[in-house]
Structure 1
Amino acid sequence: MEPNFERINTLLVEAFNDILVIEESELKKSQFNDLSITEMHTIEAIGMYKKRLLLKWLKNFRSLLGH
């Protein structure tokens, strides 16, 4: 990888990891403090209060898995 791409990649990975730490911290302070980040992301993908069509849910869930 070229040096500029490596640096950008490093910065993006660090930012992503920082966001995860913040998410975990805020989740533990919330009314949903008994859920994991993975569970919260799954609920977000499915939808907590809205009904979603199965195909739309599957599309969102696949994107979470990186497919």
Structure 2
Amino acid sequence: MEDAYRAINDILVGLFHELWELEEKAIITEDFKDLTNNDMHVIEAIGLGEGNNMSSIARKLNITVGSLTTAVNSLVNKAYVERRRSEKDRRVVYVRLTEKGVKAYHHHEDYHRQMTQAIISKLSEDEIPVLVKTLEGLEEFFRGYSGETGQ
């Protein structure tokens, strides 16, 4: 059992390090060289459509509105995001992706699709539910460890 524990631990630690580095190499291409991994995750959290308010985006990312403001300022300056104030309550700020931001969003989404497909293609129909259950357990651990209650 100790060998299995050590193998799983080594794989998880290695995967987390590699994922961050590989994602950066895969998504920060010539077209998006002015973005960071963090920028891409903010773009992903903003999502497609008419926009979201800053509080809901910050909640998705589990960061403060102040930290999100800094990130959004940078993305506005790079023309990936635009802001607008609510007509009903001027204190509420909505952000949405520009056309350039939508292209970055789809680029990032495509990377995730390829990564998921690469994993699924190696599994049988019976193995997929086992992987899903395993990943749900890992997600539950992380949410519990960080104090997050889930959404």
TM-score (norm 1): 0.62
Alignment of 1:41-52 (within 5 A): 41-47=41-47, 49-50=48-49, 51-52=51-52
Distance 2:35 2:58 in 1: 21
For structure 2, list consecutive stretches of 5 or more residues without a partner in the other structure.
Answer: 64-145
- Which protein shows a greater Rg? 2
* CA RMSD in angstroms, aligned pairs only: 2.7
- Count of residue pairs brought into register by the alignment: 63
Unaligned runs of 5+ in 1: none
| 2:28 aligned counterpart, secondary structure | helix
Equivalents in 2 of 1:45, 1:55: separation in Å?
11
Counterpart amino acid of residue 44 in structure 2: E
Runs of 4+ deviating beyond 3 Å: 2-7, 53-56
Q: Secondary structure at the match of 1:18?
A: helix
- In structure 2, the CA distance between the partners of 1:6 and 1:33, relative to structure 1 (3 Å rule), is same
Larger relative contact order, structure 1 or 2 (CA cutoff 8 Å, min sep 6): 2
- Which residue identity lines up with residue 32 of structure 1 in the other structure? F
Q: What amino acid does structure 2 have at the position aligned with 1:18? A: E
Distance 1:5 1:39, change over 3 A: same
Identity of aligned residues (%): 27
Scaled by the length of structure 2, what TM-score is found? 0.33
Match of 1:24 in 2: 24
